[in-house]
Chains A and B, each alone.
Chain A
Amino acid sequence: MGVKVDIAIIGAGVSGAAIASTLSQYDISVCVLEKSNDISNGASKANSGIVHAGYDAKPGTMMAAFNVQGNAMFSALCERLDVPFTRIGSYVVAFNRDDMKTLEMLKKRGEENGVPDLEILSAKVVHINEPHLNPNIIGALFAPTAAVVSPYELSIAFMEHAIDNGVQLYLQSPVQNIIKENNAYKIITPDKEIQAACVINCAGVYADTIHDMVLPSAFHINARRGEYFLLDKYAGDIVQHIIFQCPSDRGKGVLVTPTAHKNIIIGPNAEDILEREAVETTVEGLSEVWKSALKSSPELPENQIITTFSGIRAEPSSGDFIIRDYIETPGFIDVAGIKSPGLSSAPAFALYVNDLVQKYFGSLKQKENYIQGRRKRIHFHELSHEERREIVKKDPLYGRIICRCENITEGEIVDSIHRFAGARTIDGVKRRARCGGGRCQGGFCGPRIIDILARELNIPKEAVCKDSPESRIIVAETKGNCAL
């Protein structure tokens, strides 16, 4: 299959999706190539979900500039795209005088980066506001602009918005090669060739591989794994803010925070790994995370753990984001090394990439029928009595609860399947509608979601996958099955 587009974006993580969403306002053809079978299936699906305030990165770096600018964009963005987001603020806690000096340094750095309203709190204030923290904490740097967001839902929302505005998404389309031809690039995937004037490399941990298809090798991406615990909402009042410890050369350290969905997330550690998709959890890693988190709050309830997972960050050899074009290859743009604070920075660097694209094409024409927002999702459990009554009258599927932990209705699941960039797998439904994200981890709703996916996608139940196309849940019919 041959396709000709103005812009091809490689990778449907938060970077690629944010850029696709931004570029979807113009009267040009854009496609996104994603190697896996869903959006947000790499680093964007498993991370802390923090929109950082912006005091960590050194002044003058891209990370510093985009983080602070991106943070300021989030409230309006998440409102427009209907993404779970709460500005709960962060504490960096100090245990001794050296830590207090670090807080002073971070505050100064943050102010230099343009972070608003940073404040160093006394022990007394910290312990009044956060009664479950370690009593040995002697102060904290408070950053009121720090926030939590659902990272995969943000990526999915960006992509859905892009598709609503005409962007084409190709899943299961790993890029095998890129050939430069005159004023265009030919991108080879297993089942198609895409000719694009402009290529934007948002390939996460594989961004160096993609770069090297077009240009001489210039940087290397290391995969750094971080492991996490997720706690039940019942543990939700253990902390009110994002609780960091003082950063080290290994990153921002282990945090404890409520998520955008009011669970508690704990993690990550940082371990450099050779295999770029080695997302297993380890005894050592998990115990390191838990021990470290106990230092922040000795009261973390072990019996409220509902799951553990690990995620991969793309750690660039340069130490900073690599977002640029190249004189020798006009139209090829790298968006590489998007480690933390990549999620926080995505809306801002999408604008920067937008400028690079404008520079390349000359001025781009706005679409006439551009859709600003995303069709609002219905969250049945958040509705008032009256709204609940109305919605079930309108669509009875909202009257059937499928996920009893999170009270998610069949209507919400069906909607998550039939939207653009909709769910195709059990994990896809989980990331969009939260079924299986609660304390039973899909024990109850799993079989029912298989039924719904099979029915809505018109596929046999045996073809329903958990995640990858090789992850079928059902292997055969039982011996005497004559039910269907």
Chain B
Amino acid sequence: MKHYDVICIGGGPAGLAAALSARENGAKHVCIIERDIELGGILQQCIHNGFGLQVFKEDLTGPEYAQRFIDRVRASDIEVKTDTMVLEIGKDKLVYTVNTKEGYTVLQAGAIILTMGCRERTRGALVIPGTRPVGVMTAGAAQRLINIEGYMIGKKVVILGSGDIGLIMARRMTLEGAKVLAVAEIMPFSSGLTRNIVQCLDDYDIPLLLQHTVTNIRGKDRVESVEISEVNAHGHPIPGSEKEYICDTLLLSVGLLPEIELPYAAGIVIDKRTRGPRVNESMETSIPGIFICGNVAHVHDLVDYVTEESERAGYYAAQYVLGKLKENNGFCTLAGEGITYIVPQEIRPENCRDTVELFFRVSRVYHNVKLVLRIDDNVVKTYKKRHFAPGEMERIRISRDIIADTESVKLDIEEL
């Protein structure tokens, strides 16, 4: 059985950064396993710009951003297995893989880093009534068909959900000659980045219908129309507000979910709020030696944050392999008033480097509030904020020194 110090499962931005970091921090034999035929993950179909502003201080396209890491991996001795699927991982850190060339193979890892990314919520999960014709597709699937395969999937389009992929696809479909009639968003705010609303909708006069949702899909073989209704404060459609949009395509950009098949089957503890596994400061899951980062841990807004988080996971996976990671119990981070979740969910201060970074999301839009950091119930720091939105992942760094002997760290949103 072949042995690796670190195996990264998934060769998208998380896997690439984690593998490089693990190798650079002392893991000798590192392997990336990727199910697609090339590295880069979903970045390869994200041909728009806006990537790398944080990490490289440059404005790159998805493939360009990915290539920077692919080049580094290719220049290293990191082994890459593409067109290879991981079917199962065990507590003993066995990795069961299959591909067409080597067949069904079991690999032994010293540490595993899970970097499988996320998947899109579908029509079914939303329970949109109506017929089931062709022409209803997730925005990401459409993006793959258009940008990778080179095929158009419709001419008159309605988009449900104003997440970033939905916004990007509104522009992409328009550039390819389709007419995008509207982007409907059930919430009173978009979960997409402001720059995407400006550059993808406003610049093309595509209306963004806030507090609207699709309430019916019509058409026998192909979508013939969709019905859009206004919703009330609870998100329920308001009777009488229905409006029919004649179209042949409905794209869905209604949320991303961590792809947790492997950790779930391995018995790793899943956090109900992030819908990804619980992690500690090292991005280690409930099974020691199995790490996780990127969108499979929790869905990020920016690939730059994925890269940073993954470099951290790679570092700690290497520490684990080198026997330097301390597996004591830590304390929990507590998501208080107005906070949906905090990652990591647990912190073991003795493993922290100089600082520890807390990622979090807020539960609704806030204006002119303060974020309060409490350690053992004492207010340690407050951050005044003019604006918080659930669509924007927030982060703060706290120094290791102030959490050395604590029992809890809590974040709350409070009135100024």
A interface, CB within 8 angstroms of B: 229-230, 234, 279-283, 285-286, 303, 305-309, 381, 385, 388-389, 392-393, 396-397, 399-401, 404-405, 407, 409, 439-444, 446-447, 450-451, 461-462, 465-468, 470-484
Residue B129 at the A interface, CB < 8 A?
A: yes
A404/B149 in contact, CB under 8 A: no
Minimum CB distance partner of A230 in chain B: B124
A470/B222 in contact, CB under 8 A: yes
- Complex Cα gap A479–B217 (Å): 28
* Contacting residue for A443 out of B131, B141, B261, CB 8 A: B141
B261/A476 in contact, CB under 8 A: no
- Complex Cα gap A462–B96 (Å): 36
* Contacting residue for A309 out of B132, B150, B176, CB 8 A: B132
B130/A280 in contact, CB under 8 A: yes
Report the minimum CB–CB distance from A480 to chain B (whole Å).
8
- Chain A facing B: main interface SS: mixed
A385/B122 in contact, CB under 8 A: no
- In this complex, how many residues of chain B approach chain A with their Cβ under 8 Å: the count is 52
- Complex Cα gap A468–B140 (Å): 24
In the assembled complex, which residues on chain B have CB atoms less than 8 Å from the CB atom of A467? 134, 221
B100/A400 in contact, CB under 8 A: yes
Given known contacts A281-B129, A471-B222, A388 and B104 CB-to-CB distance under 8 angstroms: yes
- Complex Cα gap A199–B326 (Å): 77
Could you write out 17 A-B pairs with CB less than 8 Å apart? A280-B131, A280-B132, A280-B218, A306-B125, A308-B129, A388-B98, A389-B104, A392-B100, A396-B103, A400-B98, A405-B261, A447-B148, A451-B149, A471-B222, A474-B145, A476-B152, A478-B151
In the assembled complex, which residues on chain A have CB atoms less than 8 Å from the CB atom of B146? 478
B133/A471 in contact, CB under 8 A: yes
Residue B263 at the A interface, CB < 8 A?
A: no
Given known contacts A305-B125, A477-B150, A385 and B87 CB-to-CB distance under 8 angstroms: no
Residue B264 at the A interface, CB < 8 A?
A: yes
Residue B155 at the A interface, CB < 8 A?
A: yes
B interface, CB within 8 angstroms of A: 35, 83, 85, 87, 96, 98-101, 103-104, 106, 119-120, 122-125, 127, 129-134, 137-138, 140-141, 144-146, 148-155, 176-177, 215, 217-218, 220-222, 248, 259, 261, 264
Q: A-B contact count, CB below 8 Å?
A: 150
* Contacting residue for B154 out of A306, A405, A443, A475, CB 8 A: A475
A404/B261 in contact, CB under 8 A: yes
A443/B119 in contact, CB under 8 A: yes
In the assembled complex, which residues on chain B have CB atoms less than 8 Å from the CB atom of A280? 129-132, 217-218
- Complex Cα gap A305–B148 (Å): 30
In the assembled complex, which residues on chain A have CB atoms less than 8 Å from the CB atom of B119? 439-440, 443-444
Besides the known contacts A280-B131, A385-B106, A468-B221, 17 further A-B residue pairs in the complex with CB atoms under 8 A apart: A280-B129, A280-B132, A286-B127, A286-B129, A307-B122, A393-B103, A396-B103, A401-B87, A401-B98, A404-B35, A439-B119, A440-B120, A461-B149, A471-B221, A474-B152, A478-B146, A483-B149
Given known contacts A281-B130, A443-B119, A447-B144, A475 and B98 CB-to-CB distance under 8 angstroms: no
The 5 residue pairs across chains A and B that have the minimum distance between CB atoms:
A307-B124, A481-B150, A470-B221, A401-B85, A396-B100
B149/A447 in contact, CB under 8 A: yes
Minimum CB distance partner of A466 in chain B: B134
Q: Which of B148, B218, B261 has the most CB of A within 10 A?
A: B261
Q: Which of A234, A443, A474, A476 has the most CB of B within 10 A?
A: A443
In the assembled complex, which residues on chain A have CB atoms less than 8 Å from the CB atom of B137? 446
In the assembled complex, which residues on chain B have CB atoms less than 8 Å from the CB atom of A468? 220-221
- Complex Cα gap A474–B135 (Å): 9
In the assembled complex, which residues on chain B have CB atoms less than 8 Å from the CB atom of A484? 150
A483/B98 in contact, CB under 8 A: no
B104/A385 in contact, CB under 8 A: yes
Report the minimum CB–CB distance from A306 to chain B (whole Å).
5
- Complex Cα gap A279–B87 (Å): 36
Q: Which of A229, A388, A480 has the most CB of B within 10 A?
A: A388
* Contacting residue for A392 out of B98, B132, B150, CB 8 A: B98
- Complex Cα gap A44–B390 (Å): 44
A475/B155 in contact, CB under 8 A: yes
In the assembled complex, which residues on chain B have CB atoms less than 8 Å from the CB atom of A229? 127
